[in-house]
Structure 1
Amino acid sequence: MSSEKSPGTVAAAADERLADPGFLADADPGEVEPLLDAASTPGARSAAVVYRESVHLHRDTAPEVRRHSGACAVTTAVVDGRPVAVTGNGDKTVRVWDLATGQQIGEPMKGHTSWVEAVATAELDGRPVAVTVSGDTTVRVWDLATGRQIGEPMKGHTAEVRAVATAVVDGRPVAVTGSHDETVRVWDLASGRQIGEPAVTGHSNEVWAVATAVVDGRPVAVTGSMDETVRVWDLATGQQICAPLEGHTDVVNAVATAELDGRPVVVTVSGDTTVQVWDLAAGQRIHGPLTGHGSEVWAVATAVVDGRPVAVTGSMDGTVRVWDLATGRQIGPALVFPAEVHTVATTLDGRLVVGFGAEVAVLAHRAQPTCETNR
């Protein structure tokens, strides 16, 4: 009797392994790659496509580093002319990755004593820097070229810091942070000091999301909260402008800003599974609720693809969807991943960075569009 396995048995075994995010993160790529052609179920085939796109990121990477790749916080930047991803995760470290080679650049940046919840990038004195926030209640600034922390941790929040974005106010680079203490705080990155006192208040529950934009010439922050509202703040005065944007029926998990027909807009995603688009100048909803995701939507980024502004959203349903901001319609089929999608980011050269389960994928748009990212 032949000991060879039937094609059906081989496919079933491959499908089972490819559906396990832990296996994809921990296994050597040489062990995973032979399974890719045997994938037969939709989920396994999707995992195979994603793995092929990102295998170069993990081929010579240790499992503990690959596990860090499943970061809850991801953003992109350019350091010494190289496009990079900056990630933070539950191992309390911040890491920088070369998107061309998939290799980690330098050593992990250590200092936080709890989960790194969010990361944003900025330029400080001509240097690219990362700003990170954590469950340890601190805000930290890192020199991306040297991997060193700049200054002392910035303290003021009294609970977990959940979100961060950067902007320029009166010519100085600032970070805007949102916390479970229900406040929004603005920090001068050059001095490491909080701007304004007391902190900006208005939300009646934890602040989970922050983005920045310019409205009528004024730098503003846009925040989302567990109180189900989105609020817009003048960064120069700390005052709320316009009434709260109401429409979501669950926590606002993430927000991202863009420009649509010359107007500043914000895209919001929520635990209610929907995506909504708002005109920041008018304080009115333009599109939504946009439906398609089958579970809580965790992440959103914006870009310009083939000349049109789009939003990219990631969900606990394991999908990434792309939305045309002009029409409010989904573009193409959803990208299906083998685990929950918890973060998305875009790069200047048109790539999409997706954090799912314990993995990260870097996907290139086939037409190689020009993309503009939003911090």
Structure 2
Amino acid sequence: MTCAPRSLTGHTGRMQAMAVAQLDDRPHLVTSDRGGSLQLWDLATGVETRRLADHTEVMAMAVTQLAGQPHLVAVEGVYGSKVAYLWDLTTGRRVRRIASGLRGIVSSVIVTEVKGVPSAFLVSFGDDHRAFDLATGTQTLALSIGTLRAVTAATLAGRQHLVVAHSNDEELEVWDLTRNLINRRRVDMPRTLWFMTGTLTDPEAEFTPQSLATVIVDGRTYTIAGCGDGTVRVWNLATGTLVGTLVGHTDLVNALAVVRLHGRPHVISASLDGTVRVWDLTAMTLVDRGRPVTAALLTHLDGRPHALTTGSPRRAIRAWDISTGTHREVPTWHKHELKTLAMAVLDGRQYAVVGAVDGMSLCDLATGGYSGYLEGHCARVHTIAVADLEGRPHVLSGSDRGSVVVHDLVGEEYRLRDFRDGQDLLLEKFKLVKDGMESVIAVDLARIGGRLYAISGNHRGSVEVWDLTTLTKHSLGFPPGELHLAALAVTDLHNRPHLMTGDRHGPVKVWKLALNSRDVDPVRTLVGHTAAVYAIAPVSLKGRPHALTGSDDQTVRVWDVGAGVCLATLHLPAPCQAIAAGPDGSVVLGVGHEVVALRLTI
């Protein structure tokens, strides 16, 4: 994302804080720097119009209207105790002292109403955040919610929210101020715990938020963060998705302000590089591209071929009509990112089984709604497979906590068995086949000797095979250090089940599924990828075993597994983390945030 900025020059020290005010019906910017300068700028012309005198270094500020006139709340002082003053910007004079004796570094100021009283909310780097009545200086609120670096207020769905950046965190937290929970565990230290509704992150890069602001563009509320790497990131607050990154500063962005210029919303950013930049938000494209597509599958809905994918910014399933390229969204109850999908049929109805950061659920694809929560996981669900077991549909799933769970979707209740010393656990409506500390990143199903087995793999390269009838474990005997597992899938080769594994370093290997073997060697090594292989889709084409593999090297390769040769390489604009393939040659790829449909001709 790019848009042309305008720079304001004149400060001699590093920028500390800034705020926007209306003076003489013209937008002005108030800025402070490490040299102690406090200046006002006409934003229409970029010309400095005034310098405020009789102050020390200003660390944080905010502008408000009192009696119809613009006023500035400024926190002065770097070392020792800090003082907050109220300034009349029309006259350029101090009006009164709001608060004194403040300890710690005050990082942000927000002017808001607390219990109906106009107050200055002072946010510190320590766990001491207080609000003061602007008229009397009386303390109206004291909060202890951890060390904060920055905070901004926003109205979302008619409720007041705070977006906060904690010290050293690489995400932003969103708190609903209208849903208060009182912690009564320590009566000697009462505190208010706000209801956290979500987080704002960048799935593709690390960032350290230093300053925050809120803006409304075309009726949508956006949160803006100035970051330690010099970028300015923009999130849609309702969906929690990153919609853009502004690049231009060469050092940490420590202050932000929002203003309307010529009827258009702008954001102003101040950096330790000594510059102030003005960005026209309508000149950039605020598009909710959503999240990277991490799962895809092929199915038929209403008699038409469809693809189901993750990647919606609203944590919904996207159902794509392959013939028209259009899609609809199937809502889920999940509040966090969807990771994986599978299909199940119950009583003749199609359901999507959804694995997400916050658990697993069923969604009725006909009615387009949430149908039930599948218990058993207390962590991110990475992988799901569905199979028929004892004449009933079952779901096999693996999570971050190392658990592999089998659900009987018909709902038969299993009796509770003891879970001590690594024994198997059977709980109502699901079986916990395995529990451990290693993240399960892939599962699949295979029939060996007429019995159904579950194959699970973790990020350390360990692969386990479970007899789903007896819940007994078998070893595949892989040599230590042989696997750097990123993906796995089961395929048929010479009428026998084989295991395909994707490596974090690129090679794709094919293994014979021989239970309790002490010596296992790959029967095929498919060389070509130069980065981690996160997607494997076996498919039979013209009666021969083939597979598509997707990699972080931004390619998809088509393999003749029987011959061990690569038939084609597709070069993509982004990594591929999801592949679905059908026997008619239909293929759906998840390429970064995008979905690509194509047809193979062999």
TM-score norm. by structure 2 comes to 0.47
| 3-state SS of 2:566 partner | coil
The separation in 2 between residues aligned to 1:257 and 1:363, in whole angstroms, is 23
Deviation at 1:335, TM superposition (A): 0.8
Deviations 1:193-218 (A, max 9, x none): 78935722276511000111211111
Cα distance change of structure 1 residues 366 and 235 upon mapping to structure 2, 3 Å threshold = same
Percent of paired sites with the same residue: 34
Asked whether the 8 Å contact 1:226–1:250 carries over to 2, the reply is no
Asked whether the 8 Å contact 1:228–1:246 carries over to 2, the reply is no
Task: Determine whether 1:187 maps to 2:407.
Answer: yes
The separation in 1 between residues aligned to 2:489 and 2:587, in whole angstroms, is 15
Asked whether the 8 Å contact 1:297–1:314 carries over to 2, the reply is yes
Asked whether the 8 Å contact 1:252–1:268 carries over to 2, the reply is yes
Task: Give the aligned partner of residue 301 of structure 2.
Answer: 79
| 3-state SS of 2:472 partner | coil
Q: In structure 1, which of residues 354, 361, 366 is the aligned counterpart of residue 589 of structure 2? A: 354
Q: In structure 1, which of residues 321, 330, 345 is the aligned counterpart of residue 566 of structure 2? A: 330
| Larger of the two Rg values belongs to structure | 2
TM-score norm. by structure 1 comes to 0.74
Q: In structure 1, which of residues 311, 329, 341 is the aligned counterpart of residue 576 of structure 2? A: 341
1:291-310 to structure 2, matched below 5 A, reads 291-310=527-546
Deviation at 1:246, TM superposition (A): 4.5
Compute the RMSD of aligned alpha carbons: 2.5
Task: Give the aligned partner of residue 158 of structure 1.
Answer: 378
| 3-state SS of 1:330 partner | strand
Q: In structure 1, which of residues 287, 297, 309 is the aligned counterpart of residue 523 of structure 2? A: 287
Asked whether the 8 Å contact 2:311–2:593 carries over to 1, the reply is no
Asked whether the 8 Å contact 1:319–1:335 carries over to 2, the reply is yes
| 3-state SS of 1:331 partner | strand
The separation in 2 between residues aligned to 1:291 and 1:202, in whole angstroms, is 34
Please tell me the residue identity of whatever aligns with 2:321: D
Q: Which has the higher helix share?
A: 1
The separation in 2 between residues aligned to 1:349 and 1:146, in whole angstroms, is 28
Cα distance change of structure 1 residues 75 and 359 upon mapping to structure 2, 3 Å threshold = same
The separation in 1 between residues aligned to 2:436 and 2:554, in whole angstroms, is 30
Asked whether the 8 Å contact 1:254–1:269 carries over to 2, the reply is yes
| 3-state SS of 2:473 partner | coil
Q: In structure 1, which of residues 354, 363, 366 is the aligned counterpart of residue 598 of structure 2? A: 363
Deviation at 1:309, TM superposition (A): 0.7
Q: Which runs of 5+ in 2 are unaligned?
A: 1-242, 244-285, 415-424
The separation in 1 between residues aligned to 2:571 and 2:397, in whole angstroms, is 31
Asked whether the 8 Å contact 1:70–1:89 carries over to 2, the reply is yes
Task: Give the aligned partner of residue 219 of structure 2.
Answer: none
Q: Which runs of 5+ in 1 are unaligned?
A: 1-25, 27-61, 368-375
The separation in 2 between residues aligned to 1:285 and 1:120, in whole angstroms, is 31
| 3-state SS of 2:366 partner | coil
Task: Give the aligned partner of residue 499 of structure 2.
Answer: 266
Asked whether the 8 Å contact 1:196–1:238 carries over to 2, the reply is no
Task: Give the aligned partner of residue 147 of structure 1.
Answer: 368
Task: Give the aligned partner of residue 319 of structure 2.
Answer: 96
Please tell me the residue identity of whatever aligns with 1:146: T
Deviation at 1:191, TM superposition (A): 1.9
Deviation at 1:220, TM superposition (A): 1.2
Deviation at 1:170, TM superposition (A): 0.5
Task: Give the aligned partner of residue 205 of structure 1.
Answer: 438
Cα distance change of structure 1 residues 63 and 101 upon mapping to structure 2, 3 Å threshold = farther
Q: In structure 2, which of residues 459, 474, 483 is the aligned counterpart of residue 241 of structure 1? A: 474
Please tell me the residue identity of whatever aligns with 1:339: A
**Range 240-249 or range 262-271, more displaced:** 240-249
Cα distance change of structure 1 residues 251 and 202 upon mapping to structure 2, 3 Å threshold = farther
Cα distance change of structure 1 residues 83 and 167 upon mapping to structure 2, 3 Å threshold = same
- Pick 1 or 2: higher relative contact order, CA cutoff 8 A, min separation 6: 1
Task: Give the aligned partner of residue 370 of structure 1.
Answer: none
Asked whether the 8 Å contact 2:512–2:523 carries over to 1, the reply is no
Please tell me the residue identity of whatever aligns with 2:459: M
| 3-state SS of 2:296 partner | strand
Task: Give the aligned partner of residue 128 of structure 1.
Answer: 350
Asked whether the 8 Å contact 1:90–1:114 carries over to 2, the reply is no
Asked whether the 8 Å contact 2:344–2:350 carries over to 1, the reply is yes
Deviation at 1:129, TM superposition (A): 1.7
Asked whether the 8 Å contact 1:69–1:359 carries over to 2, the reply is no
Deviations 1:253-277 (A, max 9, x none): 2212121221111211121211111
Cα distance change of structure 1 residues 202 and 239 upon mapping to structure 2, 3 Å threshold = farther
The separation in 2 between residues aligned to 1:244 and 1:139, in whole angstroms, is 31
Cα distance change of structure 1 residues 119 and 285 upon mapping to structure 2, 3 Å threshold = farther
Deviation at 1:324, TM superposition (A): 1.6
| 3-state SS of 1:241 partner | strand
Asked whether the 8 Å contact 2:575–2:591 carries over to 1, the reply is yes
**Range 277-286 or range 89-98, more displaced:** 277-286
Task: Give the aligned partner of residue 254 of structure 1.
Answer: 487
Asked whether the 8 Å contact 1:248–1:272 carries over to 2, the reply is no
Report the count of equivalent residues.
Answer: 301
Asked whether the 8 Å contact 2:312–2:318 carries over to 1, the reply is no
